[in-house]
Structure 1
Amino acid sequence: MTRKPRLPQPDAFATVREWVFDLDNTLYPRDIDLFAQIDVKMTDYVRRLLDLDHTAARKLQKQYYRDHGTTLQGLMIHHGIDANAFLEAVHDIDYSVLSPDPALGAAIRSLPGRKFIFTNGDTPHAERTARALGILEDFDDIFDILAADMNPKPAAPTYRRFLETHGVHPERAAMFEDLPRNLAVPHQLGMRTVLIVPQNVKPVLDEAWEHEGHDAEHVHYVTDDLSAFLTSARLSSPGSAPG
């Protein structure tokens, strides 16, 4: 297996002016377990909706997640649920587990050009998360599941919709994600791609399939330190502002 570079090569990001970030387990470390709270609530939602025991509900939840990109999409297709009610229920979580991340904020602010959050969650959740991290004001906009017309990553039309909505040029854009499969389309579109992995470098994801493609050609870089990576990316961008 070819080892992916962990820091940008000189000038690798020199032409990047549009920086696109996934939200959960990307802008904050996975071991904080914020998304784990959402995961628990999704299982409970499926359990109550379909009157299943916990084991059956979790199995179905994960099946929908794998097959449709999100649990929500699967529930909408197979059970016709109200998306807004689901999103409100599963994002009723404790954000106090997050703390401001000044280093990340400084790294994002120093990047040249525009910055976006592109999430399969909704905007209120993204805003609460980014605000708790102290980085909300560092982004130009948020593209959420509602803006995607409920069609989640990794669906190709959703990436194209994002690009068209915000006038993003893929050849001068970079995408940061914690799921390898969500980087396949950005690679095809011509974006630089960066996979965010846990700092302990151990497989901690619940589902083995989530690791699939981590060493594929559509993953250009791998890092367990987003702030350090962004700082290196800025230094490889001659037109960037001083940090």
Structure 2
Amino acid sequence: MTGQQPIDERAVFFFDIDNCLYPRSYKIHDIMAKLIDDYFMDKLDLPFEEASTLHQRYYKEYGLAIEGLVRHHEIDPLEYNSKVDDALPIAEVIKPDPKLRSFLQSIDKSKVKLWLFTNAYKTHAARVIKALGVEDLFDGVTFCDYGEPVLICKPKPEMFERAMRDAGAISKDKCYFIDDSPVNIKGAKEFGWKVTIQYIDPLDKSPATPAGHFEIREFDEIKTIAPEIFQ
């Protein structure tokens, strides 16, 4: 009879992907915004200004434009994904990042799991980390499942609960998180995760009110924030 597997007591470091693992200067978000606007115009038969306004409203209200489309317009989220996220020219824009890879390799994997945590669908996550050349360094991914009847995404508490289940995190005190979104960082801090870090793009000003425990502009700054997780 096989005994129970020992509990993995390692901490988990959750990494957002877009505008976090790669810089905003790549303009992936701008390309995506145009694709989303085009989708709203096509599917809802709206002129550009109305489509763009509705897109932004849904994003602010729900954290994802697609959630508003699903709630109010019965749009198939997987079709949306094929026309928006999967249509992004990821491999043409994002290139391998040796500095990011070196940073991730400096984390002590005997102490910490590295886990991707995104509001995008799993196909987008896979394409980005492959383009960055770091796909082999993460233990898994928690993503917004566009195949579900009700979409769950950051910063909903249910999404943080899902991430912990997926990653096998045994305690909120063992959860580290970095994201460029102040809303997501605030949600994680309120949820009780131990270390929440807002990544601020070098081109942006620091926010007047911190969203989480820490703010950084370079990933190497995490070595000062959480030296206990590095080799």
* TM-score in same-fold range (> 0.5): yes
Amino acid at match of 1:160: E
Query: What is the rounded CA distance, in whole Å, between the counterparts of 2:161 and 2:64 in structure 1?
Result: 18
Alignment of 1:15-34 (within 5 A): 17-34=11-28
Counting matched residue pairs gives 214
Query: What is the rounded CA distance, in whole Å, between the counterparts of 1:141 and 1:164 in structure 2?
Result: 12
Q: Relative to structure 1, is the Cα distance of residues 240 and 197 closer, same or farther in structure 2, using a 3 angstrom cutoff?
A: closer
After alignment, is 156-165 or 84-93 more displaced?
A: 156-165
Q: Which residue of 2 aligns with 1:186?
A: 188
From 89, 109, 119, the equivalent of 1:94 is 89
Query: What is the rounded CA distance, in whole Å, between the counterparts of 2:128 and 2:166 in structure 1?
Result: 23
The TM-score with structure 2 as length reference comes to: 0.86
Query: What is the rounded CA distance, in whole Å, between the counterparts of 1:165 and 1:199 in structure 2?
Result: 32
Indicate whether 1:76 and 2:70 are aligned: yes
Gaps of 5+ in 2: 1-8
Q: Relative to structure 1, is the Cα distance of residues 148 and 21 closer, same or farther in structure 2, using a 3 angstrom cutoff?
A: farther
8 Å CA contact 2:12, 2:167 repeated in 1: no
Amino acid at match of 2:57: Q
8 Å CA contact 2:223, 2:230 repeated in 1: no
Amino acid at match of 1:22: D
Alignment of 1:101-120 (within 5 A): 101-112=97-108, 113-120=112-119
8 Å CA contact 2:152, 2:159 repeated in 1: yes
Task: Report the CA distance between 1:172 and its aligned residue.
Answer: 1.3
SS of match in other structure, 1:136: coil
Q: Which residue of 1 aligns with 2:5?
A: none
Query: What is the rounded CA distance, in whole Å, between the counterparts of 1:16 and 1:222 in structure 2?
Result: 24
Deviations 1:121-155 (A, max 9, x none): 01111111111111111100011111894211111
Deviations 1:48-78 (A, max 9, x none): 1111111110000000001111001010000
Amino-acid identity (%): 24
Q: Relative CO higher for 1 or 2, CA cutoff 8 Å, sep ≥ 6? A: 1
SS of match in other structure, 2:136: helix
Query: What is the rounded CA distance, in whole Å, between the counterparts of 2:193 and 2:128 in structure 1?
Result: 29
Task: Report the CA distance between 1:16 and its aligned residue.
Answer: 7.9
The TM-score with structure 1 as length reference comes to: 0.82
8 Å CA contact 2:10, 2:113 repeated in 1: no
SS of match in other structure, 2:185: helix
Query: What is the rounded CA distance, in whole Å, between the counterparts of 1:106 and 1:173 in structure 2?
Result: 22
